[in-house]
Structure 1
């Protein structure tokens, strides 16, 4: 059965996608700031710096959420964005990983170079996935939920746990996780092993709740969190 033809939206592109374009420009500006203005290094010195480094992907997810689906369908953006996301992975992240590994072998690169490369790839993956979902007809709420849940998992320390389990150079899981700066800046000290477990578990639960809580529960929570004056209409 042939699908019905896709008609062009009656309202202007700029009007329907103004918020998406604005947030997309903001995301690009924030990415430039994070990469070239503030110190680009593995260590995170404060919780505020951690938040700043997350702002590009957060802004990008909001931009994707406000992308107008009708325009995306009419422009057939899925035929452009999905190959572009794949090519970004294939033609930059894959060879860059290989080259950094080779540079580490001959001493012209260190582990931090590889780490910072992977740190760029993770937001690329998150934004690429939510964009794929949106241009495929996914809801705005779905984009925000998925983007938030993946960001929470990104910050959970789950990757650190898997890394130490896979690391044959270690004799068991370390007692103190002094390398996990994203934990340190929020806890106020390097996490112990049990603190790291609890930290990871709390984030996983929060990510699941972000994905699974019914909309009416979220709306009710939002009403309860509003100031009393706002709720009473004063």
Structure 2
């Protein structure tokens, strides 16, 4: 039992260190594990007659399609929102309404407001430039990480049983049955949690989508 504790503590320290030594790789593998749990979740609710591998592939493709659809939908909405905000600000500052409102205020207050507005405008411009530079400098690493995430997620999902059977090898000199039972129950707990969160997300998303559509909210679906 003591050996098992030492091994668990050692692996915990090793995993913790990888978060700092190899941040991108460790994060990708962590997300890939969650991705694999999502892919494997439908297998709990369908008949065993359906091939597990085929079901995982279909689920993964459906999940990726949904993610790309979200990205495809969010970008135009974001651009439209930014343009709308820009038009509102232009109409506020260019039609004279803002200047007339400032004239009614004491000079020291109006000057303070003008300084704040100028500072905010400069800050927004600098922030936009910084965001653009950040996106341009990191887009390649994000694409690489996304590709690795997808590949690793599918591999982990397909090799889950093999990985679980290989875990006891990492704990030499320990009670292999207890180690296997522990990691099997741990994996089941993770999978149950992810499955529950998916069900909740689907229910809440469906309710919000239907309600927003019924109320006439733009871009609800």
Q: TM-score, normalised by structure 2?
A: 0.24
Q: Greater share of helix residues, 1 or 2? A: 2
Which structure has more RCO (C-alpha within 8 Å, separation ≥ 6)?
A: 2
Q: TM-score, normalised by structure 1?
A: 0.23
